[in-house]
């Protein structure tokens, strides 16, 4: 992790709140030790302003990195969607093939049934002929 991320993560932590509170208490206690209040306020205001400027810069860096990351995720999602579409097309083709095979099997079964009926009719005709011959 780079130092900007470490810094922005630290600034957003409870430890940062504690350190800032101690720093402000220290700064506001300096006049009790003989430091002029206007000097303390000048230094404190300058430091707080600089910190705010750098925080804004680090926040913008984080926003830019997150935006870039989101763009990469969007591209990944688009690629995944294309893959899913291709898979769906393959599934549709397989479904069509399965339906064709089922139709062919049904037709073969139908033909087999017709062949069976023909065989039975042939045997019946032969039996009828045999009976006619033996009955004469």
Written as six digits, the tokens of 114 are: 């017709």
28 touches 40 (CB < 8 A): yes
Cα separation of 64 and 55, whole Å?
14
Domain count, the chain: 1
User: Is pLDDT above 70 for 23?
Assistant: yes
> What pLDDT sits at residue 1?
66
User: Is pLDDT above 80 for 5?
Assistant: no
Indicate the pLDDT class of residue 136, thresholds 50, 70 and 90.
low
> What pLDDT sits at residue 107?
72
> What pLDDT sits at residue 105?
76
pLDDT digits (tens, 9 = 90+) for 54-76: 888 888 888 898 999 999 999 99
Residue ranges making up the domain that contains 61: 3-135
Name the residue with higher pLDDT: 30 or 97: 30
């Amino acid at each position: 992790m780079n130092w900007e991320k470490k810094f922005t993560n630290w600034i957003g932590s409870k430890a940062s709140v504690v350190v800032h509170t101690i720093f402000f208490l220290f700064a506001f206690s300096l006049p009790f030790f003989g430091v002029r209040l206007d000097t303390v306020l000048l230094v404190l205001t300058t430091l707080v302003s600089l910190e705010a400027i750098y925080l804004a810069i680090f926040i913008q860096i984080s926003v830019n990195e997150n935006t870039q990351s989101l763009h990469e995720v969007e591209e990944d999602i688009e690629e995944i969607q294309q893959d899913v579409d291709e898979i769906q097309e393959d599934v549709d083709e397989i479904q069509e093939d399965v339906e064709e095979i089922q139709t062919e099997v049904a037709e073969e079964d139908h033909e087999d049934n017709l062949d069976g009926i023909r065989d039975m009719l042939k045997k019946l005709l032969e039996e009828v002929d045999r009976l006619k011959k033996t009955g004469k």
